[in-house]
A and B are shown apart, each in its own frame.
Chain A
Amino acid sequence: MTTEDTTTETVAEESSNDPTNDDMLIQTDVSESVSASGTESTRTIVESRNVNVWYDDDQALQDISMEIPENQVTAMIGPSGCGKSTFLRCINRMNDLIDAARVEGELYLGGKNVYDADVDPVALRRRVGMVFQKPNPFPKSIRENVLYGLKVQGIEVDEDEIVEQSLRRAALWDEVKDRLDESGLELSGGQQQRLCIARAIAPDPEVLLMDEPASALDPIATSQIEDLIDDLAEQYTVVIVTHNMQQAARISDKTAVFLTGGELVEFDDTQKIFENPESDRVEDYITGKFG
């Protein structure tokens, strides 16, 4: 069950110029992993080493080690209960909010283990945006929704500019530009989800986590979200959990296949996973023999 055998060697460390990010050291990965397109060279932004998660006595993740490349879309697929969402929530420590959850192992964002004692989960979540399964805009105006992250971080910005820019990136601007002061709850489900994406990218996070962002939406809204994810990958690292294999195949550069028991069975370029997986179990899952 080897996932990836790339050897990581740190050759340079540069600290980000963002003051809130002093301790986030960027680790450069010299082994150039090859993306689905086969040409881009990338570096690792998120790296997990032997991450195990328990909910009380039930183990939800077993020894997950993987490297998620920067500015690409990494999909996590697998049957229900395989731990893919749990892994996603390890990255921004949302699992901390669940009393019963216990995380062991190391998970690096840039060069910093986010489970180090001195890491503030609130500060971490300010660098890692998240979009949830069910659209969950705040019962506030569209504008306030977009500005929420900046507001809680106390960052002074040109509000009109950020609102327009974020909503444009989320492909929602044209639909809502005349009603920015209406409640976010007035929007349709697909629009709400794009608002949530605009809200997540407004503070300009390093990584954008998406937990089945289209599963509560109709096919048209789903395809809008998929197009959007494609565009977002130009500027952001996107990690997306999906139970829809076609969706993973369409939008991702890399795919991780989790199977029952919280095991990461295979992690590779999306094309390889779908065309010629190493593992028979993955092949069975992809071709629909189980799961």
Chain B
Amino acid sequence: MGADNLDDSLTTQTENSPRELLARSFFFVCAFVSILTTVGIVFVLVTEATTFFSETAGLRGVTGPTVSIVDFLTGTEFSIASEQFGVLPLLSGTLAIVVGAAVIALPLGVATAIYLSEYADPQTRKYLKPALEILAGVPTVIYGYFAVEYITPLLERYLFPDIGFFNALSASIVVGIMIIPMVSSISEDAMSAVPDDLREAGYGMGATKFDVSTGIVVPAAISGIFSSFILAISRAIGETMAVTIAAGASPKLVEFGTVGAGPVSVPYPDPAYFLEPIQTMTSAMVQLLFSDITGGGVAYRSLFGIGITLFVITLIMNVLSDWVASRYQEDYD
């Protein structure tokens, strides 16, 4: 190539060649569609919710009954028939499921992750990890029937003869089982990402496998482990089908007992709540959708009030997860 052509060849604009342009536009559209969908969902949720709350319904020109935000958030009764729309009984149901599921899934998930990451030989891990992830792929409706058909009868026979046919306990157990793979898989990724240098340092100091696993690897992976907890809890909050089937449809606020007396009496939630049928926010929404409510009525619009509450809770959990991940992230480079 002669020097005459040099100017031309140096100024070729590859960045905006048709192929590059096409590729860039295609990837952008793909990314944009999912963002647009999210924005659309949030938009519908917010606009519909404004028709439910009395503070904003006037602006939307809604006639008919509405509920104030304060009554909604502090109301202790949820009943479609008597048009009582207090979210607390549903929140209480959701919290019961989350607490029960977390008690099962967090320790078991982390223990599983430690086994997979530190103890299992590569061959075992190769089969065990995908097998565990199958748990996450089982349709949740199956978990629901599993709770009703097997777990509740077992609990009734061996532990709690008075347990309800629908109850919070069996639902929270299956939700716990359902989220174990989430905890173990994300935690295992975090533990596997801990540099071998640190393990060697531990073994070189005369640490046992247990010392290294629990004293070095787990603390070093703690940000990933906490993230897995928060994501799993978000999943439990949003879990719908299993709890709709297994936990019942009786919105009920947990009762509190107290320990101690006088100024040092401490209220505690009554554990008997777990043996009774309850209703979570998600299963209330399912019920609202399938019941004979008129479109546009207050019961129908309450669906969006509950929906946006749920959305705000999971959004907070996600933000928390990001914050935890960055706060406890150790930089090894």
Contact = CB atoms under 8 A, between A and B. Distances in A.
B331 A185 contact: yes
A152 B215 contact: yes
Interface string B175-211: 0000000000000000000010110111111111001
Contact of B204 (A94, A140, A185): A94
B201 A138 contact: yes
B219 A125 contact: no
A196 B207 contact: no
A94 B200 contact: yes
A152 B197 contact: no
A102 B121 CA distance: 17
Contacts of B330: 139, 183, 185
Interface residues of A, number: 29
B206 A152 contact: yes
Contacts of A203: 205-206
Contacts of B215: 152
Nearest to B205: A149
Question: Secondary structure of the B side of the interface?
Answer: helix
B147 interface: no
Interface residues of B, number: 21
A199 B197 CA distance: 15
Contacts of A124: 206
Contacts of A92: 204
B202 A94 contact: no
Contacts of B205: 125-126, 129-130, 148-149, 152, 199-200, 203
Contacts of A119: none
B131 to A, nearest CB: 23
Contacts of A157: none
B203 to A, nearest CB: 6
Nearest to B215: A152
Given A139-B330, A152-B211, A132 B206 contact: no
A153 interface: yes
B306 to A, nearest CB: 42
Nearest to A149: B205
Contact of A132 (B197, B208, B220): B197
A190 to B, nearest CB: 16
B204 A130 contact: yes
A134 B208 CA distance: 22
B28 interface: no
A13 B152 CA distance: 69
B204 A138 contact: no
B332 interface: yes
Contacts of B219: 139-140
Interface string B227-257: 0000000000000000000000000000000
Interface in B255-277: none
Interface in A115-133: 122-127, 129-130, 132
Nearest to A131: B204
A136 interface: yes
A125 B212 CA distance: 14
A138 to B, nearest CB: 6
A125 B200 contact: no
A94 B206 contact: no
A89 to B, nearest CB: 9
A183 B204 CA distance: 20
> 7 closest A-B pairs (Cβ-Cβ)?
A126-B206, A130-B204, A136-B197, A125-B206, A149-B205, A136-B201, A139-B330
Interface of B: 121, 195, 197-198, 200-208, 211, 215-216, 219-220, 330-332
18 contacts: A94-B200, A122-B208, A125-B203, A132-B200, A136-B195, A136-B198, A136-B200, A138-B202, A139-B198, A139-B330, A148-B202, A148-B205, A152-B211, A153-B206, A185-B330, A199-B201, A200-B204, A203-B205
